[in-house]
Amino acid sequence: MLKQISIYAENKKGCFQDITGLLNSNGINILGSVTNDSAEYGIIRMVVSDPDKCLEVLNSSGYLCKATPVLAVECPDEVGALDKILKTLYAGNINVNYIYLSFNRDSGLPIMVMHTDDVAQVENILTNHGYNCM
């Protein structure tokens, strides 16, 4: 199970670069990210190398952030792989709130980072179906 950092940021020129600059200058690597925007504010969701330090750095710089548990599941790089994962979760009556892509730096395989209401239950289901979860 991973911690995801959700950052509430103003939708203006340079804001995202300010965040990446803060992470860069503090040695924090972005392992996966997705951005959802609206007219004035957006939510940047990230899995990073040091989530606790990331929270500290961004909060002290005035960003509103929170940590949320997410699950990363290794996904074979083939047609239909994500569909199979989602069918497995559907059969277990699991709703996936959102999902985004990263990759396993060791194996080179895609990793789907997902948020659900019960991350531990989803990890159990997927592990029992032979998936590699992180």
Looking at the structure, do residues 48 and 90 belong to the same domain, yes or no?
no
Whether the model pTM is above 0.75:
yes
Q: How confident is the model at residue 52 (pLDDT cuts 50, 70, 90)?
A: very high
Dump pLDDT digits (tens) for 61-116.
999 999 999 999 999 899 999 999 999 999 999 999 999 999 888 888 899 999 99
Task: Tell whether 64 and 84 lie within a shared domain.
Answer: no
Which residues, at least 6 apart from 127, have a Cβ–Cβ distance to it below 8 Å?
A: 133
Higher pLDDT among residues 63 and 11, named by residue: 63
CATH number of the structural domain spanning residue 93 = 3.30.70.260
49 and 30 housed in the same domain:
yes
Confidence of residue 11 (pLDDT cuts 50, 70, 90): confident
* Whether residues 97 and 57 fall in one domain: no
Instruction: Give the CATH number, domain containing residue 36.
Output: 3.30.2130.10
User: Can you give the residue range of the structural domain that contains 6?
Assistant: 2-69
In a domain, 133, yes or no: no
